[in-house]
């Protein structure tokens, strides 16, 4: 499968199990309005430009307070500036987007597009376990 075109075969294998739910696919989704959410956006930008000590920024709040809009705003900024590795947005009632099943292949399919090193590692991992797409996050 990987012999004549490893990169093309890898992309095909990942896309079979991935979804196109990422920052680039959400071009028409509303972002934060100008001059709104300035404090939280500044905090996230500071975190994103930091030294990597805190690897996860946990955005929390009650339902319908704008968390998704904030996340999409930041993801779009990062994508437009060329430093978004990958993104995935969960959505209640969104079939593929309501469960974690599509998360890993979606992130992997985006990472192989931007990183030759990760592309090789993901390709080797898939090649060593052809049933990897059936495994859960904790297997």
For 123-137, the pLDDT digits (tens) are 888 888 877 777 766
Structural domain includes residue 1 = no
Tally of domains in the chain: 1
Per residue in 93-109, pLDDT tens? 666 667 777 788 888 88
Domain of residue 43, residue span? 6-134
Confidence of residue 42 (pLDDT cuts 50, 70, 90): very high
The pLDDT of residue 22 is above 80: no
Distance CA 7, CA 22 (A): 21
Structural domain includes residue 83 = yes
pTM score over 0.75? no
Between 19 and 70, residue with greater pLDDT: 70
Distance CA 45, CA 22 (A): 19
Asked if 73 and 30 count as a contact pair (C-beta separation under 8 A), the reply is: no
Structural domain includes residue 42 = yes
């Amino acid at each position: 499968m990987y012999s004549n075109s490893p990169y093309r075969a890898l992309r095909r294998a990942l896309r079979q199990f991935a979804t196109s739910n990422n920052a680039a696919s959400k071009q028409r989704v509303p972002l934060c309005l100008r001059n709104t959410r300035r404090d939280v956006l500044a905090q996230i930008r500071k975190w994103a430009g930091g030294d990597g000590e805190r690897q996860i920024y946990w955005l929390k709040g009650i339902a319908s307070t704008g968390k998704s809009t904030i996340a999409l705003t930041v993801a779009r900024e990062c994508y437009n500036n060329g430093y978004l590795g990958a993104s995935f947005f969960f959505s209640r009632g969104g079939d593929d987007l309501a469960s974690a099943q599509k998360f890993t292949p979606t992130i992997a399919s985006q990472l192989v597009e931007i990183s030759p090193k990760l592309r090789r590692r993901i390709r080797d991992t898939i090649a060593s376990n052809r049933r990897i797409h059936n495994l859960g996050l904790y297997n």
